Amino acid sequence: MGRFLTSTLTFVWRSFPRQYSAGQAAKNNLSQLRKRTGIPLKNCREALVKFDNNLEEAEKWLLEQAQKEGWAKADKLQFRPMSQGLVGVLQTKAGSTMIEVNCETDFVARNEKFQDLVYRLTIACHNNLQMDASKKLLPQDAVNNLQYEDKKLSDLVALEVGTIGENMRLRRAIFFPELEGQYLNSFVHNSDKKVVINDCHLGRFGTLLSVRSTSGAEPVESMETLTKDNGVTGSWVSPLRTSRHPFTTSMRSSCKLKQPYHRNFHTSCLRNSKLTHIDTSGKAKMVDVGDKEETVRKAVACATIFVGEEAFSLVEANRTKKGDVLSVAQLAGIMAAKRTSELIPLCHNIGLSKVSVDLTLQKDSQSVYIECEVKTTGRTGVEMEAITGATVAAITVYDMCKAVNKEMVISGVRLLSKRGGKSGEYKFVPK
């Protein structure tokens, strides 16, 4: 018995260091893999187990899976509006490159992962475009087909969609070469703090300005001062065109983040110059729909509220002090849709046959995505009912979580689709 116990202890003692060191190696690899990829620990652990703790193979597999998931998410989220994002500007001896990358919310635009993506996309575009001596303006399809290492730029964006969980898009890029007799300058405007990553400037909008001297006698210092005074500070005025300054503008580009709702508003005004809720004297009026035919009307609207990590954990676990956030917000959205005519002036009182409000937790972005679908058979549409339902559901989430986080952001409120009536079918398609 004593001999058996001794041999057992000896076996345990001899095997302990090897098992301990293997466990430490696995733990170190797990930490390193998480740091390299930014992918959740659960997935990193699964990858290391799958490839017997081989760090390189695990990383390669994880990125492939994240990219596939990103493309799937990108397809699913493609109709979500993107009115936020960043412009990236990089200026070197070869020239200046500027790109625009869109996302859904300002919350994500301030995220370090998104900023790093914009930086990498700017570097990739600059490296590709500087190989051609002529200036280039690349639209969405062309710029997304550019290569970065062994991937297309569209693959890099898809990878981040899979990681961050929000709709994103590389929209366009422009390159101005540095030519003899010209002076290039750039400016990036930041809405809050200045963001610079390895000489790449990120901000809300940017300007590239290139001027040249027609006389050939002006010193570089004068050209530099001129570009800083006009193109860089944003006061683009007449001196570039007067005889006081013998310069001509050779190239100028300003890349400003597009607001889809602004573009769509002006487009609809061109199609419909007469607003239906205004009479000939300019006073508000309620539209008479008595002569219209009754048809099946349906509308779907959405909204997103970014609640932050702590509030998201409480909502997910159903542990907030005020109770079940998702259920209460769902009921609030349904009630609001039914009472839209009491909240929005000039809206008709409509008998609704269906109101559904769905709330989806999005862990990657710590947000709640809301969709409200409304249906009726009547003489006027239910777009406002759908928008009101989605908005009030988002406001209710805010109310129930404000004790934890008062900096929550509600964004992306818009109509996704409508059907029925004389105007026919509408479906939101991001530009």
Residue 164: count of CB within 10 angstroms of its CB: 22
Would you state the pLDDT for residue 386?
96
175 within 8 A of 255, measured Cβ to Cβ: no
Q: Class for domain 86-159+169-256, per CATH?
A: alpha beta
Tokens of 299: 């509308």
Q: Tell me which residue of 119, 114, 87, 96 sits closest to 198, measured CA to CA.
A: 119
Q: Strand, helix or coil at 430?
A: coil
Would you state the pLDDT for residue 48?
84
Would you state the pLDDT for residue 209?
77
Residue ranges of the domains in the chain?
34-79, 86-159+169-256, 294-427
Tokens of 169: 């898009």
- Per the rule left: phi > 0, alpha: psi between -120 and 50, beta: everything else, 381 is beta
Residue 306: count of CB within 10 angstroms of its CB: 24
Please list, residue by residue across 133-158, b when 16 or more beta carbons sit within 10 angstroms of its beta carbon and e when fewer do: eebbebebeebbebebeeeebbbbbb
Would you state the pLDDT for residue 180?
73
Tokens of 365: 């972005």
Which residues are known to be catalytic? 399
Would you state the pLDDT for residue 247?
34
d(C-alpha 308, C-alpha 376), whole Å:
36
413 within 8 A of 321, measured Cβ to Cβ: no
Tokens of 315: 């909502």
Q: Tell me which residue of 333, 352, 346 sits closest to 398, measured CA to CA.
A: 333
Beta bridge mates, 368: 305, 361
Q: What is the largest CA-CA distance in the chain?
A: 108
Averaged over successive runs of 10 residues, the pLDDT of the chain (431 residues) comes to 51 47 60 70 80 82 68 58 84 87 84 88 89 77 84 82 77 84 75 78 82 61 55 36 33 47 32 54 66 86 94 93 94 95 87 94 91 92 94 96 94 92 82 58
CATH number of the structural domain 294-427: 3.30.70.640
Tokens of 185: 């300058």
- Could you tell me the CA-to-CA distances from 428 to 7, 16, 151, 260 in Å, in that order? 74, 62, 30, 10
Which amino acid makes up residue 123? Answer: I
d(C-alpha 97, C-alpha 177), whole Å:
9
d(C-alpha 374, C-alpha 381), whole Å:
10
